[in-house]
Amino acid sequence: MQSSTIYRNIVVLTGAGISAESGIQTFRAADGLWENHRVEDVATPEAFIRDPVLVHKFYNERRRHLLNGIQPNEAHLAIGELNKELVESQQGKLTLITQNIDDLHQRAMGKDNVLPMHGEILKIRCKESGQLFSCTEDTSPEDYCTCCNKKGNLRPHIVWFGEMPLYMSEIEHALSQCDLFIAIGTSGNVYPAAGFFEMAKQYGAHTVELNLEASAIGSRFAEQHYGPATKIVPKFLNSLSF
């Protein structure tokens, strides 16, 4: 892997594949199942109205699993190291957009530098006021919201299918500035994230896919490297020159 061009504005987009080797299952786009549940049953606003007990239970299980010894892996850490290097040397800027709801990037590089566009499992919010609360315990439709004091008003701070992703203006700004766009561990099936490489390309960025295998849109990237994230991400990032 050689990348002798010097880049100053790097955008990294990550998906469930980067956390796979930390022990978190990916979303299986091929059969539409997430941890053996259909997304229609656990990841849509309609599912939450229909069966809030099931939806709370699904995210309680994901939260418990995350907090039960799951750690950032070499790929999360390599991105954190690169960010630190760029901040300290003032040689460039890295923007990390993640579709993941785990907090492994935040642990590896600090909360301020991560745009979790699909929400965060360690937060809940009030449906009425939008107020956010950190959350490390199980939740249920029986809980009272501390801001409005109403039962059933708390929901997981997760962007469900059919809802608008978070941080879109920051993301669009970063894509318009970037000269290198790297997609890691994402299947290219969930929009709008799957379209970000096209936007970056239109702004003149070099586009790179790092994934276990070619994604649905892999051939449209200028450069591709395939293998487990813990191997290919550190290797590729170490090959960059500043």
Interface size with ligand NAD, residues (CB under 6 A): 27
User: Which residue sits closest to ligand NAD, CB atoms considered?
Assistant: 17
Q: Which stretch binds ligand NAD (CB under 6 A): 98-106, 129-137, 140-148, 234-242?
A: 98-106
Tell me if 213 contacts ligand NAD by CB under 6 A: yes
Number of alpha carbons in the 13 Å side-chain half-sphere of residue 38: 4
CA distance 143 to 149: 9
Contacts of 30 (CB under 8 A, 6+ apart): none
Whole-angstrom Cα distance, residue 4 to residue 7? 9
CB 59 to ligand NAD: min, Å: 11
Q: Residues 12, 24, 55, 96: which binds ligand NAD (CB under 6 A)?
A: 24
Among residues 101, 154, 200, 240, the one that binds ligand NAD under rule CB under 6 A: 101
Is residue 106 within the footprint of ligand NAD (CB under 6 A)? no
Cis preceding-peptide flag for 192 (omega within 30 of 0): yes
Active site residue 118: yes
| 229 near ligand NAD (CB under 6 A) | yes
Shortest Å distance, C-beta 81 to ligand NAD? 18
Q: Using CB atoms within 10 A of its CB, is residue 35 exposed (0-12), middle (13-18) or buried (19+)?
A: middle
Tokens of 239: 């090959």
CA atoms within 13 A on the CB side of 96: 28
Task: Answer yes or no whether residue 118 interacts with ligand NAD by CB under 6 A.
Answer: yes
Q: Nearer Cβ to ligand NAD, position 114 or 145?
A: 114
* Residue 25 DSSP one-character state: P
Q: Which residues are catalytic?
A: 118
Footprint of ligand NAD (CB under 6 A): 15-17, 19-21, 24, 26-27, 29, 34, 99-102, 118, 185-187, 189-190, 211-213, 215, 228-229
